[in-house]
Amino acid sequence: MTRILVVDDDPHILRTLEIMLGDDGHRVVTASSGEEALEKLANGSVDIALVDLQLPGMSGTDLLRQLRDGHRGVETMIITAHGSIETAVEAMKEGAFDYLTKPFSPDQVRHRLRQIERVRSLQDEVEGLKLRVGELPFRSDFLTRSGAMLHTLEVARDVSASDATVLITGESGAGKTLLARLIHAASPRRKAPFVTVDCTAFQESLLESELFGHARGAFTGAVSDKTGKVATAQGGTLFLDEIAEVPAHLQGKLLRLVEERTYERVGDPAPRTVDARIIAATNRDLEGMVRDKEFREDLFYRLSVVDLTIPPLRSRPEDVLLLAQGFVATFSRSHDRRVTDWDADVERRLVGYGWPGNVRELANTIERAVLLCPGRTIRAEHLPERITRASSGAAPGSRPETLAELEEKAIREVLATGCSLDEAAQTLGIAPSTLWRKRKKFGI
């Protein structure tokens, strides 16, 4: 049962809506002015308010502001005989969910109420999933309905209390760093540092110094001793992001670190020890790199004591709207907006898009839409052009993809599923040796 407040100075409208909504099973409270509405709210809460803009005394717009500031849990719909785009936009800026222009039919009222109830239901579902995922105990950070993702979270929960080395694989933007942080936060090391090393962020010549530190005079420019990331992680967790990019000459030193927790600073032969858990992540096929002699086999097996795979967002479409709704709530709050929903066209585009940038791309897309949306409902014009273009077919005048581009895209998509190279070759209908050559050609 939904509790609905109707505010209108026309007694006929009040009585009509009271009877109609009551017959539909709602609990209805009526008021003929803004002042009376606030008195009624002081004596009992409601879920939805239908507010006429033209009220005696306090205007409907002023009442909207009061509801926005003092009753944030109430969703508001405007009723007005002076409907216009300008009026609707202004009302939504003040916090209205939608508006109805007099005269309206019962079906129009019911349709708008169903939309509001759907949004409230999604919000409640998000909160419920936050609590459920929070039991992992990963709070609300990984909202998902995907069986594969839930399995990954369950395994992550089970190993978080140990010191086992973990390898997290998945595409860029899928959430590898977030999962690593959650494992650390759920571990006995949670009060010690979580130290990240992005193995792609440093020149090959500087990565060793960044990892292990260096002694004064170890090389030109080393004017003082430097503490490396490994030492900084003492007692906590060392997260090696994009581990596949570590050059060959450093892989042996990393193996020693993982096996023995010992290392040497650059320019200082004295061995040092560290008590730190190691978590590594990559968006590449490490097993394939091992077969191609690009990554040490012994290091791979040492890193993958526990192997966690994060599925790409396109393989779990059931999560797209769930995550999007969570992002809408988050960014509306952080940017002080009142956006709560999207229209059917936006929903179709969100679900139909491939999300090559995964959850990170979805989050950025929703944040942009929230900032551009002037009211409560995100529309297609608030989405980036690449998404509207992808869901509408190729843009007029755009060139078709070449055979080489299509071939590269197909290979990347198959390899992104995490299958072995032999399985990928079988899926693509080519020989493993051909796949090897194609990967070299396209730099995959």
Percent of the chain with pLDDT over 70: 87
Going by pLDDT thresholds of 50, 70 and 90, the confidence category of residue 394 is very low
- Tokens 């396209």 locate to 442
What pLDDT does 139 receive?
Answer: 44
137: preceding bond cis by omega (within 30 degrees):
yes
Percent of the chain with pLDDT over 90: 40
CB 382 within 8 A of CB 374: no
**pLDDT tens, residue by residue, 404-428:** 677 777 788 777 776 777 777 777 7
Going by pLDDT thresholds of 50, 70 and 90, the confidence category of residue 192 is very high
The DSSP symbol for 380 reads G
> Do strands 272-273 and 262-263 pair parallel, antiparallel, or not at all (unpaired)?
antiparallel
Whether the pLDDT of residue 239 is over 70: the answer is yes
Whether the pLDDT of residue 397 is over 60: the answer is no
The DSSP symbol for 373 reads -
User: What CA–CA distance (Å, rounded) separates 282 from 169?
Assistant: 5
11: preceding bond cis by omega (within 30 degrees):
no
CATH number of the domain located at residue range(s) 319-391 in this protein: 1.10.8.60
What pLDDT does 197 receive?
Answer: 92
How many Cα atoms within 13 Å fall on the side-chain side of residue 122? Answer: 19
CATH number of the domain located at residue range(s) 147-309 in this protein: 3.40.50.300
**pLDDT tens, residue by residue, 49-74:** 999 888 888 888 888 888 877 776 78
Least confident of 121-135, 295-309, 336-350, 357-371: 121-135
What pLDDT does 234 receive?
Answer: 94
Task: Identify the CA nearest to 133 among candidates 192, 178, 167, 191.
Answer: 178
Going by pLDDT thresholds of 50, 70 and 90, the confidence category of residue 395 is very low
Other residues' Cβ atoms within 10 Å of the Cβ of residue 231: 19
DSSP per residue over 402-435, as a string? PHHHHHHHHHHHHHTTT--HHHHHHHHTS-HHHH
CATH 3.40.50.2300 fits 3-124, yes or no: yes
**pLDDT tens, residue by residue, 277-332:** 999 999 999 999 999 999 999 999 999 999 999 999 988 888 999 999 999 999 99
Whether the pLDDT of residue 391 is over 70: the answer is no
At 226, which helix (H) or strand (E)?
Answer: strand 226-227
What pLDDT does 398 receive?
Answer: 46
What's the whole-number average pLDDT of the chain?
84
**pLDDT tens, residue by residue, 153-186:** 889 988 999 999 999 999 988 999 999 999 999 9
Going by pLDDT thresholds of 50, 70 and 90, the confidence category of residue 88 is low
Mean pLDDT of the 106-125 span: 82
What pLDDT does 407 receive?
Answer: 76
**Of 329 and 101, the one with more pLDDT:** 329
What pLDDT does 138 receive?
Answer: 53
Three-state SS for 152-218 is: HHHHHHHHHCCCCCEEEECCCCCCHHHHHHHHHHCCCCCCCCEEEEECCCCCHHHHHHHHHEECCCC
Least confident of 41-45, 125-129, 219-223: 125-129
**Of 127 and 144, the one with more pLDDT:** 144
**Of 268 and 304, the one with more pLDDT:** 304
**Of 116 and 299, the one with more pLDDT:** 299
What pLDDT does 140 receive?
Answer: 54
Going by pLDDT thresholds of 50, 70 and 90, the confidence category of residue 220 is low
What pLDDT does 396 receive?
Answer: 43
At 211, which helix (H) or strand (E)?
Answer: helix 204-212
Going by pLDDT thresholds of 50, 70 and 90, the confidence category of residue 275 is very high
Other residues' Cβ atoms within 10 Å of the Cβ of residue 101: 15
User: What CA–CA distance (Å, rounded) separates 6 from 63?
Assistant: 12
